[in-house]
Amino acid sequence: MHRQQKSQIFSHPEFEKPLPPFPDINSSWNQDCSSSFNCQRAWVEIKLNNLIHNVKAIKALLSPQTAFMAVVKADAYGHGAKVIAHTVLEHGADWLAVATVTEGIELRQSGISSPILLLGAISSSEEVNKIAEWQLEPTIGDRSQAVAISEVLSELKTTLPVHLKIDTGMSRLGTPWQQGLEFVNFVTQLPYLQVASIYSHLATADDLDQITMLEQQQRFNSCITQLKNQQITLPCLHLANSAATIINKSAHYDLVRVGLALYGLYPAEHLKSSIDLKPVLEVKARITQIKTLPAGTGVSYGHQYVSDRPITIAVVSIGYADGVVRNLSNKLQVIVQGRLVKQIGAITMDQLMIDVSELDDLQAGEIVTLIGQDGKQSISADDWATTLGTISWEILCGFKHRLPRVMK
Ligand SMILES: Cc1ncc(COP(=O)(O)O)c(C=O)c1O
């Protein structure tokens, strides 16, 4: 079942760029800007060594029979899907998963030949045509989707591997588990569809309390038992996301679908003792101007911050249009010269201000770390998520394409 075709690693343009030197510079004005990212205003750094470390750490949790599907949807959670996909396939992932047909085609166009599962639903015959053309593998959530896909494939006279989704409690895509047996039987009899896997998705695997996860697992198991009782040959079975992969070996089945953990973040605090993960993404920007302001001066739109003493501020060339969420205004900390400093005033579309009164010898062109490590200090996507009352998945996906992805 587990097709392990090798990707054509390192054969696409992303890998042909030289690694950018990131000198400790004082001013971008003196830099040679002819190549790489020396003079970028802001960028995302991708630490491929950390990605490879995470792949190995996750693989170490799996039995040799369990396949590893790397979830690289949403541009690999904001990290850049092509480079991430090639790297994880080279280091032990067997499958890729994306959400949309376009995401799948982009990976194929970059030379990837491993199987690619589409996690989202298919909504038009045009998409089925593209899926067949690019050899992607769709998820089917109910009978009507199965019939629609089968009809298009009959016209094309092409058989496709398809993946049947059972809803065991996520209440999203999929046929309710009580009708799982009938659903599988129905699809199996349709022409041009070859059932490659049956799967479900967990809603609460990152909860400390495992009761709901185990209930979903029981429902999944009861479907499987019914299929076995009918002497139906079982295809590949899968259930686990990152959290279940880390915490619940019995949920591994034939394959695990891992997203967040690949990128070095923990789905929940209590999972930290079970695996050593290293964050892959860092976000950096440059200081463009430094100035002193007298006491009583308002900073940025709406003057949400007014200095209560004379302060030195630095303007940093990154803003909410890059993914630095405006609701972080006056709550964000950044790292400059290895020291934590406060962001002040409203974050604007392309720029934000920081209070650098405590720093000496700071000059325009110096690098500010918004997410990542500098010296002894570090700031994570989890820190942002806690401040904003959201999850790290959303923070990672929020870094926009205006920020170049730089491999380190
Ligand atoms: C169906 C499915 N499987 C697996 C994953 C990966 O989840 P995680 O990032 O928690 O590992 C996702 C992510 O949303 C998903 O939608």
For a mutational test of ligand 1's pocket, the pick from 119, 207, 392, i.e. the residue with the most ligand atoms closer than 8 A to its C-beta, is 119
Atom number in ligand 1 closest to CA 242: 11
Query: In which band, very low, low, confident or very high, does the pLDDT at 39 lie, cut at 50, 70 and 90?
Result: confident
Ligand 1 center to residue 308 CA distance, Å? 47
The residue contributing the CA closest to ligand 1 atom 6 is 259
Atom number in ligand 1 closest to CA 77: 9
**Catalytic residues, which ones?**
73, 301
Extents of the domains making up the chain = 49-271, 281-407
- pTM to 2 decimals? 0.92
CATH superfamily for domain 49-271: Alanine racemase (3.20.20.10)
- What's the confidence (pLDDT) of residue 85? 98
Mean pLDDT of the chain: 92
Mean pLDDT of 100-116: 98
Digit-coded pLDDT (tens) for 256-268: 999 999 999 999 9
Residue 295 Cα distances to 202, 301, 315, 316, 330, angstroms: 53, 18, 18, 21, 17
Ligand 1 center to residue 119 CA distance, Å? 9
Query: In which band, very low, low, confident or very high, does the pLDDT at 190 lie, cut at 50, 70 and 90?
Result: very high
Digit-coded pLDDT (tens) for 350-363: 999 999 999 999 99
Lowest mean pLDDT among 59-63, 208-212, 375-379, 398-402: 398-402
SS (H, E, C) the chain: CCCCCCCCCCCCHHHHCCCCCCCCCCCHHHCCCCCCCCCCCEEEEECHHHHHHHHHHHHCCCCCCCEEEEECHHHHHHCCHHHHHHHHHHCCCCEEEECCHHHHHHHHHCCCCCCEEECCCCCCHHHHHHHHHHCCEEEECCHHHHHHHHHHHHHHCCCEEEEEEEECCCCCCCEEHHHHHHHHHHHHHCCCEEEEEEECCCCCCCCCCCHHHHHHHHHHHHHHHHHHHCCCCCCEEECCCHHHHHHCHHHCCCEEEECHHHHCCCCCHHHCCCCCCCCCEEEEEEEEEEEEECCCCEECHHHCEECCCCEEEEEECCCHHHCCCHHHCCCCEEEECCEEEEEECCCCCCCEEEECCCCCCCCCCCEEEEEEEECCEEECHHHHHHHHCCCHHHHHHCCCCCCCEEEC
For a mutational test of ligand 1's pocket, the pick from 241, 271, 382, i.e. the residue with the most ligand atoms closer than 8 A to its C-beta, is 241
Overall fold of domain 281-407: Lyase, Ornithine Decarboxylase; Chain A, domain 1 (2.40.37)
Ligand 1 contacts (CB < 6 A) are: 71, 119, 201, 241-242, 257-260, 267
Mean pLDDT of 241-246: 98
Atom number in ligand 1 closest to CA 393: 9
Digit-coded pLDDT (tens) for 193-205: 999 999 999 999 9
**Could you tell me which residues come within 8 angstroms of residue 171 by beta carbon, excluding any fewer than 6 positions away?**
203
